[in-house]
Amino acid sequence: NDLSAVISTAGAGGLDTGAEAASTWYEIYAIRKYSDGTKNLLLHRAKDYFLDESQTTDDGVQALRDAAATRQKRAQTFDTDVTGPVEFVDIKLIKTGSPTGRVWVSLYATSAGAPTGAALKTSDKIDVSLVSTTAQVIRFVFRDPQTLTAATTYALSLEGDYTNSDVNYVGLRVYNGVDAYAAGETYYYTGTVWTAAGSDAWFKIYVTENDTSVTMPTGYDQKAKVGWVYNDSGS
């Protein structure tokens, strides 16, 4: 039907709700009135993932599940600037030898700065044999995301089920300098207590934003998403 939508206008033929934002993705919907067949286009701000927290300097490795069995989990504490669900996190890992089993990430609440209690949520589990012997960034996905509250300290914890070993293990890449990440630090879990490790992991925390339903203009009751458009820095 040679239709168009103008993002600076509201409703049918424009943006469903909210103000236009630069450097932002929008979904394009074909919309229709069932009553009389009227057609139009509608723009809707797309769901996105805000990189809220990160620490991307690393100069060392902390082993997970070593032979002494004193480091059963490796955690990094952090807080977020915005409130929202976390659907995935990125951390940097490296494998030594040939461990057999799985690794995953769990999210914990904290008490007095340290992880505490049972895991709030646990990510998908990854076959440890797929981790590279060269440092690599791996994304761990949470199918049931935890909603984090801004300015509240949480912990992400690397965990595994492979046999404890000093020869076959996965290591968490960390930076051993002072306060690379001011809002938290690394901890390890002995099986009974969490102990500060005095470093900061390589990590990225993403908070989901704009995960909202389309607001249909008055009279329109049918829709189909047909694509996306990017509103650039100049709008």
**What's the one-letter identity of residue 4?**
S
- 112-167 pLDDT per residue, tens: 999 999 999 999 999 999 999 999 999 999 999 999 999 999 999 999 999 999 99
The model carries a pTM of 0.88
- 33-80 pLDDT per residue, tens: 999 999 999 999 999 999 999 999 999 999 999 988 889 999 999 999
H or E segment and range at residue 15: none
As beta bridge partners, residue 26 has: 45, 229
- State the DSSP code for 216: P
Burial class (CB in 10 A: 0-12, 13-18, 19+), 41: middle
**What's the one-letter identity of residue 84?**
G
Helix (H, G, I), strand (E, B) or coil at 130: helix
